[in-house]
Structures are given as C-alpha cells and as structure tokens.
Chains A and B, each alone.
Chain A
Amino acid sequence: MTDPVPAVEIAGITKRFGDVTAVDDIDLEIGDGEFFALLGPSGCGKTTTLRMIAGLDFPTMGSLKIFGDEVGTLPPNKRPVNTVFQAYALFPHMDVADNVAFGLKMQKVERAERDRRVAEAVGLVQLGGMEGRRPNQLSGGQQQRVALARALVNRPKVLLLDEPLGALDLKLRQEMQLELKALQREVGITFVFVTHDQEEALTMSDRIAVMHEGRLLQVGTPEDIYQRPANRFVADFIGRTNLLEATVASPEEVVLSNGMRVEAASDHAFGTKVAVSLRPEQAFLHRRGGSPAGWPSIDGVLREVTYVGNALVHSVAVDWITIEVRTPYRSTETPPQVGDEVSVSWEPGGVTVVGD
C-alpha cells in the first residue's frame, strides 16, 4: 500500500504581483475528500492561493499538483477543478439551465448526456422548475445554488469556493453551511473554500489552514486550531481570547507580568517572552476571594456586563489588562454587579502558551 495521493499538493509556492508578495513560500497538502478551509483576514493571500489552484493566477515559483499531476502553468480550462466564484459570476444573459450546461457545452458533451446531467445537477441543489429563469430573477441563495450546480455538473475532482456564503444574510448563511457540508458528503469530492469568517471555517471544515500576510501559520482540525493555536495571531484570530503577556520560567510554568506563576506547558526556552491565551468561556468569575482552592486567580473589578442571549460577557479590569469572561446565563442567579470586586480564575493548566 502506498500513501493515498493528495487532492492538492502545494510545495514552495510563492506569488508576487510586482513588488507585492501575495503568497510567500507555502507548503500545503489537501487530502482526497476533505472539506478544507483557507482562513485569514483580507489580503492574507487565501484568495490568491485558491486562484492559483484554479489556474486563474500562476505561481511565481513552486510546484502545484492536483492528484499527482503538475498543473502549475496550465490554463484554467485544462484543470480538473471548478470554482464557485465570490458573488457567483453567473452569466446574466443565460438562463439557469444554460448557465449550468455551459461547462458541458464547452467540453462538447453530447446533447442527451448534457441534458441528463444538467437536470441531475439542478435537482441536486433543489432548483427544479427554475431552469428558465435568469440570474437576476433569483434570490441570493438561489444564485448560490446555481453557481454550485454550474460547477458540480462537470464532476470536478476538486471544487473551489471563494467566500461562497459571503453575499448571504446570516440566517441563510447558517442554513447553507449545513447544506454545503451535506452536499460535500453526498458528492464525495474535495472542497477547498476561502473564508475570512472563523466561525464558518470552524463549523464546516475537516481541516483549516490559517493564513496571514501571505504565510501559512497553522494547518489543523478546527479543534487543534482553537485549542492549540500555534501563535499569538492564530489565538487572537480564531474565536475570542485574552492574551496575557508572560515569560517562560520552565517547561511547565510561565510568569505573568504581575509576577504570578502560572502552570502552562510550553516548549519555548527559559526567559522567552510569550503570551498566555485564556479563552473567555474557560475563565470563571467569582466574588473576590471565592476562587476554588489551588486554581490560578487574578483579582479585578467588574467594569461591564453584556447580555448576549445565552451567555453573559463580563469585562474585568485587572491591574494591567481587561479580561473577558463568558458565563452561561441563568435567570435564577444574581450575577455580580458592575463595580463589584471580583476574581477571575481558571482550571490549572487551562490556558495555552502562544509565542510570536
């Protein structure tokens, strides 16, 4: 048995536009059948990476393989991938059926086969009966389905999606997240999607690659990325967190900037400046002095309480920073009031050390 061939294999890819390095020497393997997210803020190079896989941009250097075949300089029409574009890019002068049939026509698939596959794809995205409509007669969600059908009808080996849900409103976006996931299981091919929305990436993906300023910071499962962020940027970008400045004292301990010793494992050298990431939902709030015995605890003053439906978000001012604590909302309890003296604590070892 040999190792399965990765769907997409990126090795040492760099992309420069003039003086600007959009993608800086990244290596990435995306497995067959994976739902893979490229996540990062605007301008991080995620869309450029996707466009290079699609063939819409060519790498300045490096190797790009799709199922083992080098495709780095092939034009988009010679690659076994299809793209769902941001804002869909549906052809406005064609109806739904012609939009979906376009790829098959270009590949000269014969009429009967084409009609059959178009009907199948339209059914797959639940747009039966809409075949004769123009894109401007469809809602945003329907346009998105047409874009999916138009790509999937070609049976690509890899489907690329550029901010596929970006143009939809929140409710529809959450529905489509689940639908996309179900669709991917149904067709069983690799989905690579680009998003700046960390929640979307965490919800939908098997694995996530976090990018920043053209570089790949971390690749891992949503749990990996959330629980064990590779560095300060990832910890801060994924979810919400409190970053407490610290210095490494031993492999098991760091010293916070107020001199407090905190149990936290790291492989950084003694004396390295690091940060301790404390997730708001992993922090606990007590009245001053009420922290469980043996738990690390910092005293502070409650500055603000925000009700967010299923939880309360507390801002606690300690000596040098404001810490966010998230607790489940229970109507029977009287929560601490603004101005109260409180303590923030966490389970020993419940924080993560992140370097720069």
Chain B
Amino acid sequence: MTAIAGRLLPNGNPVRLGDLARRFSLTRGALTANAWFVYLFFYAPIALLVVFSFSADRNVGRWGGFTLSWYDDFIGNTSIQNAIWVSVRVALLSTVISVVLGTLAAFAIERFRFRGRQAFDALLYLPIIIPDVTMAVMMLLFFSEFFDLVNLLFGTDLRKGFASITVSHIAFNISFVSVVVRARLAGMDKRLEEAAMDLYASRWKAFRHVTLPQIAPGVAGGALLALTLSLDDVVVTQFASGPGATTLPVYVFGLIRRGVTPLINSVSVVMLVASIGLVLLSLFVQRSRGGAAVGPPGAVAAGRSRRSS
C-alpha cells in the first residue's frame, strides 16, 4: 500500500500514487493518439493526392517515377481552364447577388412586421432543408419549361449554361446568407437604429451607417459561405448546366467517369494551392486591419432586455 497519509479521493478512497500516474498517462496517451489519427485522416489523402500528381503511371495509385507531364496537360487543356473560369465567374456573381438579396431578406424578416412574414420566413429556409437532388430536378424542370416558353414566344434560342447555373446557385445561396446575417442581426440592439433615426438619419442612412457596420461580420461570413458552396456544388450545377458551359467540379466528375488519371490530381493540387492562398490572404487582411473595423458585438447588449413600459 502506497497511500499518502491524509489524502483522500472525493469518493473517500485513499490516493495511490501508482494508480494516479497510470490513469494520467493512459488519458494522455489516448488523447495524443486521437489527435494523430485525426491529422492522419485529414492529411493523408491530401498527401497522397499531391504525391501521385507527380507520378508518371497512368493509373492513380501506382508510382511510375517522377514527372510534371500532368501539369503540362493541365496547362494545355483549354476545357479545364474554361471550366475553372466558369466556376470562378459563377461563384463571384452568385455570391454578390445572393449576399445583397439574402441580407435584405434577413433585414425584412428581422425588423419588419408584414403580412405573410411567417410564410416567407419558412419558405426562405426551404433550399437548406430539401435534398440537393430535389433542388436540382426542380431547377432542370424550371429552366427547360422557362426556356421553351421564352423560345416559343420570342423565337430566341436560349439554352442552359452560364446564366442558368448562376441563377440556381443564387437560389440556394440566398438561404444560407440570410441565415447567417439574421443571427447577427438578432444579436444587434434595435435601439441603435432608432438612435440613428432620432439623430436625423433616414431609414436608408441608418442602415448604411449603423446597421451595416454592425452586421458586417455576418455579411462577410455569409459571403464566404456562399462562395464556398458555389465553388463546391456538383449536383445542382450538373442539372442546370448545358453543353455550352460547365463548372470545374462537374467537369472533374465527368473526367472520373471516363477513367481516373493523375490529371485530376494535378487539377486538384492547383485548386488546393489556390484555396490555401486565399485563406492566407484573408488572414493577412484581417491581421493588418487589427480587427478594429468591427466592434465587439456584446458592447451594447448589456441593457437590451431592460426596456420598461
């Protein structure tokens, strides 16, 4: 018995040094192992992806010596570059439009009482709830019917392509943007807007000078989310795209069906490097602004719940 005199565990048992050391090291060991496993799962696939992008063998997973030819292929492949270009344009355009519309929708629901508000509220979240495939089929049907009708009426030759992809991305991005912005708006003291209007600001100026700076982090977060979702999307885009234009994820998906070559790896590595670059850039921008542009959200929240009569 190696009990320390006078020391008891909460359950009344004496502390034994050996037990304590063993339990401590076991927990520590398990946690460390867990951390390594997590990192392994995260990064091993990425490492493999990068390694095999330099493999000379046509079959992914079989090392055939070092080569840069897949990157050569990538640079020479105009259809991949077109797909990237479409992806970027769709993402930027749909993000800008859905941020504007989503923010306004969030503001309307959060700040105004109007007929049909609850129905509007529920409908706004529909694209988040319904499965991607359903959304995709809806889009397909909608664009087919719509383009057929317009072509019939005006004798035009509209087809699915860049515009239909962008519209469908806006359709689901609005929901995500407004969810994020609304959370921020709900945490903001409504009296700040009233104070602005009391100080001779019109409703628009109150929004522009007081509300918008307060919800800016939410708007930025919503924009990033929209950008990511748009760049990532396969299912909806596949149904909304036409022969004229396709985005990178859909193009890569098509490549895989024709057999996987390390070309896909090289495309992915380029995307990976680009996104890491974007993250670093955004961190750098935030750092250099010192976070000063955005006040702490809790600063005015102290007295919010204390309105009398």
Give residues in A with beta carbon < 8 Å to B.
Answer: 22, 40, 42-48, 54-56, 75-77, 81-83, 85-93, 102-103, 106-107, 134-136, 150-151, 154, 163, 166-167, 194, 196
CB-nearest residue of chain B to A160: B198
Knowing A87-B300, A136-B299, the reply to whether A22 touches B309 (Cβ < 8 A) is yes
- A87 and B309 contacting across the interface, CB-CB below 8 Å: no
| Number of interchain pairs (Cβ within 8 Å) | 107
In the complex, chain A residues whose CB is within 8 Å of the CB of B209: 102
- Knowing that A86-B303, A91-B195 touch, tell me 14 more A-B residue pairs with CB under 8 angstroms: A46-B308, A47-B309, A54-B198, A55-B198, A56-B198, A76-B198, A85-B198, A87-B191, A89-B194, A89-B195, A92-B295, A93-B213, A102-B201, A134-B299
Knowing A77-B197, A135-B299, A150-B199, the reply to whether A93 touches B214 (Cβ < 8 A) is yes
- A87 and B303 contacting across the interface, CB-CB below 8 Å: yes
B296: interface (CB < 8 Å): yes
- A77 and B202 contacting across the interface, CB-CB below 8 Å: yes
Question: Which of the residues A45, A48, A89, A194 comes within 8 Å of B300, measured between beta carbons?
Answer: A89
- B191 and A85 contacting across the interface, CB-CB below 8 Å: yes
- A106 and B205 contacting across the interface, CB-CB below 8 Å: yes
- A77 and B299 contacting across the interface, CB-CB below 8 Å: no
B192: interface (CB < 8 Å): yes
CB-nearest residue of chain A to B189: A89
- A107 and B309 contacting across the interface, CB-CB below 8 Å: no
B224: interface (CB < 8 Å): no
Give the size range of B's interface with the partner.
Answer: 20 to 34
- B307 and A136 contacting across the interface, CB-CB below 8 Å: no
CA distance A136 to B300 in the complex (A): 8
Which residues 169-198 in B have Cβ within 8 Å of A in the complex? 189, 191-192, 194-198
- A196 and B308 contacting across the interface, CB-CB below 8 Å: yes
B219, chain A: closest CB distance, angstroms? 14
Kindly list the 10 A-B residue pairs having the minimum CB-CB distance in the complex, ordered from nearest. A87-B303, A103-B199, A92-B295, A106-B200, A89-B191, A89-B195, A136-B299, A92-B299, A47-B309, A93-B295
In the complex, chain A residues whose CB is within 8 Å of the CB of B198: 54-56, 76-77, 81-83, 85, 151
CA distance A88 to B199 in the complex (A): 13
In the complex, chain A residues whose CB is within 8 Å of the CB of B199: 77, 82, 102-103, 106, 150-151, 154
CA distance A40 to B309 in the complex (A): 9
B7: interface (CB < 8 Å): no
CA distance A45 to B213 in the complex (A): 33
Which residues 240-298 in B have Cβ within 8 Å of A in the complex? 293-296
In the complex, chain A residues whose CB is within 8 Å of the CB of B203: 75
A236, chain B: closest CB distance, angstroms? 18
- B195 and A42 contacting across the interface, CB-CB below 8 Å: no
Knowing A87-B302, A92-B299, A93-B295, the reply to whether A106 touches B201 (Cβ < 8 A) is yes
Knowing A93-B213, A93-B294, the reply to whether A48 touches B309 (Cβ < 8 A) is yes
CB-nearest residue of chain B to A153: B199
B16: interface (CB < 8 Å): no
CB-nearest residue of chain A to B203: A75
15 CB contacts below 8 A, A to B, read: A47-B308, A56-B194, A82-B199, A85-B191, A86-B306, A87-B189, A87-B302, A89-B189, A91-B210, A92-B192, A93-B293, A103-B199, A136-B296, A151-B199, A166-B306
CA distance A106 to B207 in the complex (A): 13
B117: interface (CB < 8 Å): no
CA distance A150 to B198 in the complex (A): 11
Question: Which of the residues B192, B200, B307 comes within 8 Å of A86, measured between beta carbons?
Answer: B307
B217, chain A: closest CB distance, angstroms? 11
B28: interface (CB < 8 Å): no
- B194 and A76 contacting across the interface, CB-CB below 8 Å: yes
B304: interface (CB < 8 Å): yes
Question: Which of the residues B192, B200, B214, B302 comes within 8 Å of A77, measured between beta carbons?
Answer: B200
B303, chain A: closest CB distance, angstroms? 3
In the complex, chain B residues whose CB is within 8 Å of the CB of A42: 308-309
- B296 and A102 contacting across the interface, CB-CB below 8 Å: no
In the complex, chain A residues whose CB is within 8 Å of the CB of B294: 93
Knowing A87-B191, A89-B195, the reply to whether A154 touches B200 (Cβ < 8 A) is yes
Question: Which of the residues B196, B299, B306, B309 comes within 8 Å of A102, measured between beta carbons?
Answer: B196
A347, chain B: closest CB distance, angstroms? 38
CA distance A75 to B205 in the complex (A): 14
Question: Which of the residues A44, A75, A154 comes within 8 Å of B197, measured between beta carbons?
Answer: A75
B226, chain A: closest CB distance, angstroms? 24
CB-nearest residue of chain B to A44: B309
In the complex, chain B residues whose CB is within 8 Å of the CB of A154: 199-200
Query: Which interface residue of A75, A77, A82, A92 has the most chain B CB atoms within 10 A?
Result: A92
CA distance A346 to B296 in the complex (A): 59
Question: Which of the residues A43, A56, A151 comes within 8 Å of B309, measured between beta carbons?
Answer: A43
A160, chain B: closest CB distance, angstroms? 8
Question: Which of the residues B192, B202, B293, B306 comes within 8 Å of A89, measured between beta carbons?
Answer: B192
B289, chain A: closest CB distance, angstroms? 13
- A45 and B214 contacting across the interface, CB-CB below 8 Å: no
- B214 and A163 contacting across the interface, CB-CB below 8 Å: no
CB-nearest residue of chain A to B202: A77
